[in-house]
Structure 1
């Protein structure tokens, strides 16, 4: 499994536009083959930061995602939305276990 955590600092005046792009990206990404889960949220400490949590079955699913129209549209819009450098961390995961709370 491939897990990504992406952090995007957004210009405050561009937040609504960024959220619209994120909503479309999440909706369409969750329909992709090989996608386990794709989520976006605003940071509770800084509401102008978008965080993405992405889980793919494998590297091929991740690569396919980067070739989709919805991903490319989001990627193309980013330069006008960003307030700073994005950060993306990739985790290669051998196993995952859901914990009971």
Structure 2
């Protein structure tokens, strides 16, 4: 399984536009084969920070997402939305288990 955690500092003047674009990206991506989970959220402490949490069945599913038209469209617009450097982390997970609370 591939997990991506991405953090984007968004220009406050571009926040609404960024949220709209992120919502479109989430809607499109959740329909992709191999996409287990794909969420975007704003940070509770800083509403100008946009975070993505993504889970894919395997590297091929992630690569298909990265090559998709909807992702490319978002990525092309991202530089004009940013107010700082993004951080994107990729994790390859061999085993995962749900925790009981």
Bin for the TM-score computed over the shorter chain: over 0.9
Cα distance, 1:10 vs. partner? 0.2
User: How many angstroms apart in 1 are the aligned matches of 2:35 and 2:81?
Assistant: 26
User: How many angstroms apart in 1 are the aligned matches of 2:78 and 2:19?
Assistant: 11
Map 1:12-91; keep pairs closer than 5 Å.
Answer: 12-91=12-91
So what's the TM-score if we normalise by structure 2? 0.98
In structure 2, runs of 5+ residues without a counterpart are none
In structure 1, runs of 5+ residues without a counterpart are none
Cα distance, 1:61 vs. partner? 0.3
User: Where do 4+ consecutive residues of structure 1 move more than 6 Å?
Assistant: none
